[in-house]
Structure 1
Amino acid sequence: MAYLSLFVTAFVAATILPAYSEILLGGLVLEGYSVFWLWFWATAGNTLGSVVNGMIGRQVDRFKHKRWFPFSQRQLHRARQRFNRYGQWSLLFGWLPIGGDALTLIGGIMRVPWLHFVTLVAIGKGARYAVVLWLVIQANGGPG
């Protein structure tokens, strides 16, 4: 049940909803859960949440002319230009607390092929969770 809770929390954290999976991850490490499985499920959930962002991004063009649409044509154009400047490699930074969710949304808008999207996002998010796990373990006296 702990791994499922971590997966769900990491999934939600990758969406626009407020959630912080690192807190739960650190607590589960301290409770003695498998570091590998914690890393795996946190990375999987967070990556899947970013895939949802990408799917939403792929739908943007359907709604951009609606009155309620939150972005102007100018904002969309600038976001596309920035993404084109740095390319799909910027998805490696989808883990950033500020702007990371936007990167995955823009990756969807730009229709980055799913294999590239998922691979790059998973590498970035997996690296971030590995660092978080390492920091928690080091702060508590090293491996147990």
Structure 2
Amino acid sequence: MSDGLALLTLFSSSFLSATLLPGNSEVLLVTLLTTVETNPLLLLVVAIIGNTLGGLTNVIIGRLAPSPKHHQRLELAMTWLQRYGSPALLLSWLPIMGDLLCLLAGWLRLPWWSVTFFILVGKSLRYIVLTVITLKGLSFFS
């Protein structure tokens, strides 16, 4: 697989994984880290950018959405956001709950820059940990 195709595939998967659509960006990142010669830092940055932009897409959808209907997960996400504000988006990497947090952040019209910052940090930490574990595992076995 060429570097360009690998990066495009990783970006697409990372973006889709952050939306309500299914994705497998973690599996793809680990696969690419272990099988291609592309700079691991470049792979990490592409995954972070794609996933952050996907999360921000959910925020935009939330800003455009009508009032959400009540649901147990929705209530939990709403409680976190009302209690902690934008810092709750550090958990935006969580499956399903993270998507809800991003949607509700948009619906609640939380400040754009703080929302962007906390989504970026939360999603970055997940990919950094995954990359470090993968690369340490590779060096352990070599």
CA RMSD after TM alignment: 2.5
The residue correspondences of 1:1-144 to structure 2 (distance < 5 A) are 1-30=5-34, 31-61=36-66, 64=67, 71-72=69-70, 79-142=77-140
Corresponding residue for residue 67 of structure 1? none
Encode CA deviations 1:66-92: one digit per residue, 9 max, x unaligned.
Answer: xxxx72499877754441112210011
CA distance 1:73–1:27, change in 2 (3 Å): closer
Identity %: 37
Residue 128 to residue 75, structure 1, CA distance change in 2 (3 Å): closer
Tell me which amino acid in the other structure corresponds to 2:107: I
SS at match of 2:69: coil
Runs of 4+ in structure 1 off by over 4 angstroms are 73-79
If the length of structure 2 is used for normalisation, what is the TM-score? 0.85
Distance 1:46 1:133 in 2: 15
Q: Is the 8 A contact 1:80 1:110 kept in 2?
A: no
- Say which structure is richer in helix: 2
TM-score, normalised relative to structure 1: 0.84
> Is the 2:90–2:118 Cα contact (8 Å) retained in structure 1?
yes
CA contact (8 A) 1:94 1:104 kept: yes
Change (3 A) 1:4 1:54: same
Change (3 A) 1:17 1:74: closer
**One-letter amino acid of the counterpart of residue 85, structure 1:** R
**Larger deviation, residues 74-83 vs 33-42:** 74-83
Take 2:103 and 2:84, find their aligned partners in 1: how far apart are those partners?
A: 15
Unaligned runs of 5+ in 2: none
